[in-house]
Structure 1
């Protein structure tokens, strides 16, 4: 199974259609939510234990990423023998993990700690099952100074950190450096906005003797996460209510000027034979780039290693592009965060879960995690660890991702839209985008129809939490 690092989550859309039962059973749906009455216990609850506290950790990391996580779990357990013992439990892809957690809430039997993808944040708050991350920070006086600001920004709601960032990524623009040089372009000065991508694509598109295109200048999958990125970098909210940060979101805004301009540009690039039409499959986008069919693409930082290992050319990286020159920039993260369940769990279990999370956020653990998986180092000091330094020497392109995130403006737009049906909204944006490229509908019509479709789902979800 290929788990996209940023968490595609499209399969989660159906989950939110039947959340009323869960949410009505969990709390009153106050916009604060998130277990407001649940607080973090102090370290004294782990004094004088007769046996180690058992912490079950549900996550979505398998294959190589799972092996790295298992090693971190083993290292923590070795350091805390007789005190806290963590058991990892793979729950499938992100949407599967959320479905399993929802079922566990209904059954009153949740895991102590769970990894939930970014699109599930509002539901986790509304469910009222977790101890807010801020409570642990306040209880221990935990210093978040070295935690990446952009990550804290995303998971902070109503001025409180709700969960702990962990396996997070950000998108970049990837380029075929060999193709750039052959076209007379400087690979160290890649395009920065849609207009300059088009200019580069005009030079990068190559035909054979029969006039068949063998290399397109640009090609990327129709992934809704990218629309969110483009809008954030243009300082445009993705949904109302200040991106759902000041009031519960009631509508999406991806059919606004920024979203329509992006889709219009994409359509024109394809019509002019400068861009390869890929569709919504991420793997198809990766194959188009690594095979040399597209000289410029967009993807998550988590794909960097696969791109380098799977390409016969030198891979370069640049900041995720702007819609227009002069846009303020910024970056929305993807991936998942860690939530500590409080409802139905003892103080010892809650405290043990926090101490494990605290360990995962150390520079040492983050160096291991970043180097072994390609995810961002949540704790920026992790980049100075020996494993991370070695990785940077092997993949200097990754420094672009760290720089882009460090320079990201921290505001409501780069925080991303907070909405209970964010997964459905992302799917709807993709559907509208695809319809504009494959039907007679104009980009404005297609995106407006998509936004209208998801509006009913937003209304239904909000009603389920009594808003």
Structure 2
């Protein structure tokens, strides 16, 4: 990755010099200010493993090398779930990191934890122009009109399909199916010995997307955004439509189920055991470069009875802890602004496949060259930018989201084993309602 020089504000440099001189001003948490003789260090917990982690480490190192006021210390903390569990144990204490990456469904917990400073506070203090960033990404992390965290690794689902299989089946490889009925019809044409037509990973995120693109909420209270949600609404007509669609293809033996592990369904697609799958947009580059066949990418399908509303953002964002000194918070915010620059976002997009939070990054030459080489990357960007803003596509806010997702997966698997689709989905809603009730009662 090439060197990218961040723009560090004059005010920030002055405040650091004041800190070095021993200002009498109290820190934001009421404690004595931190007096430093050198760069301000900010600990950054993240969940980026493997190549993603290496890319992040390189990006942080470039930032650290480019200026002398701040040192960001990245620390891998395991999976998203493990990371959030660790933060819960140290949030609000002196052992808390200054910055922490959290997956999108941890948003409500983090916002209510009492252990974070909303990024909006520093946006307002700094006069930072947030309108330059992608609105349909910012919306997920916006609560009561305030941006609580800075988007970072953002993705949506997309339809992956085997173009060669399409050609063999007499389908147009340049025209992927767009509706549930078209997927069903294509799956029938694509199914043959050793190859299913279509598959979805056992992961609740995909069900949520197929619901949102119909323009309906996952839970009540405007998807938990006008108040605490009290019950699930995903088992209504639109949710049943998704389950019945999958069940029909399963009964027709055109749908193959490969379980709950991402690598398993991706391996099945690569091995041509299934011709169409839903997968994360962040995996497009690797899939295109490693597949032995020509890979096509399209929008996720929408119900024939509803217009396409779009997608809900997935991935993660970066939160600022409130237990660190004001100098550390200001240093952390400078790093967050650096991450959003078009140059850095261009590098991040090209190296990882995640969306660029700053749309101007797509005009950078390295991105345009990448899109010329891998045009499949454009489809999810267009899908995101065409998304209709609503509470449905903004995404649900519930603290028991991980548990609810597992209820949906259990319902899906029960249905594939013979349970009536409506009964299975109703069971998932009932399980979600119990979890919501317990959480709400314990937090009164």
TM over 0.5: yes
Q: Spell out the pairing of 1:248-259 with structure 2 (5 A cutoff).
A: 248-259=228-239
For the residue of structure 1 that corresponds to 2:165, the secondary structure is helix
Query: Which residue in the other structure is 2:242 paired with?
Result: 262
Task: Report deviation, 1:106.
Answer: 6.7
* Distance in 2 of aligned mates of 1:461 and 1:390: 49
1:120 is the counterpart of 2:98: no
CA offsets per residue over residues 179-201 of structure 1, 9 Å max, x none? 11112211111100110111112
1:367 is the counterpart of 2:337: no
* Distance in 1 of aligned mates of 2:417 and 2:199: 16
Q: Spell out the pairing of 1:237-386 with structure 2 (5 A cutoff).
A: 237-342=217-322, 344-386=323-365
* Distance in 1 of aligned mates of 2:38 and 2:257: 59
Instruction: Verify the 8 A CA contact 1:219 1:288 in the aligned structure 2.
Output: no
TM-score by length of 2: 0.91
Q: Spell out the pairing of 1:17-416 with structure 2 (5 A cutoff).
A: 43=12, 44-48=14-18, 49=20, 50-81=37-68, 83-105=69-91, 107-206=93-192, 213-342=193-322, 344-416=323-395
Instruction: Verify the 8 A CA contact 1:252 1:425 in the aligned structure 2.
Output: no
Task: Report deviation, 1:231.
Answer: 0.9
Unmatched 5+ residue regions in structure 2?
Answer: 1-10, 21-36
CA offsets per residue over residues 331-350 of structure 1, 9 Å max, x none? 111110010111x2111000
CA offsets per residue over residues 423-449 of structure 1, 9 Å max, x none? 11111111111111113x211111111
CA offsets per residue over residues 204-242 of structure 1, 9 Å max, x none? 122xxxxxx222211222221011101110011001110
* Distance in 1 of aligned mates of 2:306 and 2:113: 40
Query: Which residue in the other structure is 2:430 paired with?
Result: 452
Instruction: Verify the 8 A CA contact 2:92 2:115 in the aligned structure 1.
Output: no
Deviates more, 1:354-363 or 1:133-142: 133-142
For the residue of structure 1 that corresponds to 2:375, the secondary structure is coil
Q: Give the length in aligned residue pairs.
A: 416
Unmatched 5+ residue regions in structure 1?
Answer: 1-41, 207-212
Instruction: Verify the 8 A CA contact 2:285 2:377 in the aligned structure 1.
Output: no
Deviates more, 1:332-341 or 1:280-289: 280-289
Higher relative contact order (CA 8 A, sep 6+): 1
Deviates more, 1:301-310 or 1:425-434: 301-310
Task: Report deviation, 1:130.
Answer: 1.2
* Distance in 1 of aligned mates of 2:408 and 2:140: 21
TM-score by length of 1: 0.86
Query: Which residue in the other structure is 2:421 paired with?
Result: 443
Deviates more, 1:265-274 or 1:302-311: 302-311
Query: Which residue in the other structure is 1:430 paired with?
Result: 409
* Distance in 1 of aligned mates of 2:289 and 2:176: 21
* Distance in 1 of aligned mates of 2:260 and 2:40: 45
